[in-house]
Amino acid sequence: MEQEKTIKPPNGYLMLFIFFVLLIGSAWAAFKVSAFFAIGIIVALFISGGFILINPNNSKVLLLFGKYVGTVKQNGFYWANPFYSKKPISLRARNFDSERVKVNDKLGNPIMISTILVWKVEDTFKAAFDVDNYENFVRVQTDAAVRKLASLYPYDNFEDDGMEEEITLRASVNEVSETLEKALSERLAMAGIHVLEARIGYLAYAQEIANAMLKRQQATAVIAARHKIVEGAVSMVEMALDHLSEKHVVELDEERKAAMVSNLMVVLCSDKDTSPVINAGTLNH
């Protein structure tokens, strides 16, 4: 199996000088009506087909009648066999923002997801000959990798699911990106593609369940907030009773303690401002 072979053809400036000499000589021969005119034009045209210009972060794959000769990667001006066919391949880093696709996460919830991929060609032989169209190959394989990734993790954790996932698409950005990057590197290696970075670009519930999931998230947040409020209220009531007992401010029997606890819990846990009522009588009235 052939591998990429980097070559450096001869400098092209010498052949460029010869090319101009032939052109000037052909013009002089045409003026003198000499047979050198036709020969010079033919040779000049032959030479002109061998010039190769390589810009920075670009390359050209050289073929001779279907046989791989090598790849020119170093930027500069060169001259090679005019019979070589030259296929340009860019070595620059490229961004690819995939389309938003609708898939099901691990829990079966439909979600919309897309990815941002930064990649570049590393092996020009594989990119040119091991796949039909390496740019289209990147798009298709990225789409497949994103679909598989979404099925591996749930979108988010919910306490009522009865299980806690350590990694989720929404919360575990670094872990999910590493998994996606590894999967894409394995898929694109056969095309000579080096994955520089891969991360989720867009993530949301599908439209048909977005409202329901929003209400679910809001309910979960409310329950969590209420849980904290109750914990704090119980602590405050306990502290109030302990202070009253330690400082002997008032002696409360169990029934009055229960009433006091009830009143304090209502005041502390209510989501609205309470209206105080002043008792001007005894503790019993």
Q: Residues 28-63: pLDDT tens digits?
A: 766 665 666 677 778 888 888 889 999 999 999 999
Cβ neighbours around 222 below 10 Å, total: 11
Based on the fold, state whether residues 160 and 230 are members of the same structural domain.
no
Amino acid at 279: N
Domain boundary among 88, 118, 138: 88
* Per-residue model confidence (pLDDT) at position 106: 85
Domain of residue 23, residue span: 13-88
For 81, the token pair is 């066999």
Q: Does residue 211 belong to any structural domain of this protein?
A: no
CA–CA distance, 166 with 153 (Å, rounded to integer): 9
Q: Does residue 218 belong to any structural domain of this protein?
A: no
CA–CA distance, 101 with 112 (Å, rounded to integer): 6
**pLDDT < 70 stretches in the chain:** 1, 29-37, 158-165, 208-224, 226, 244, 247-254, 256-257, 260, 263-264, 266-285
Based on the fold, state whether residues 109 and 184 are members of the same structural domain.
yes
Q: What are phi and psi of 133, to 5 degrees?
A: -145, 105
* Per-residue model confidence (pLDDT) at position 247: 67
Q: Can you give the pTM of this predicted structure?
A: 0.68
Based on the fold, state whether residues 52 and 139 are members of the same structural domain.
no
Based on the fold, state whether residues 134 and 182 are members of the same structural domain.
yes
Based on the fold, state whether residues 82 and 29 are members of the same structural domain.
yes
Distance of CA 158 to the CA centre of its chain: 25
Q: Does residue 284 belong to any structural domain of this protein?
A: no
Based on the fold, state whether residues 100 and 81 are members of the same structural domain.
no
Based on the fold, state whether residues 46 and 98 are members of the same structural domain.
no
Domain count of the chain?
A: 3
CA–CA distance, 16 with 59 (Å, rounded to integer): 21
**Do the beta carbons of residue 125 and residue 192 sit within 8 Å?**
yes
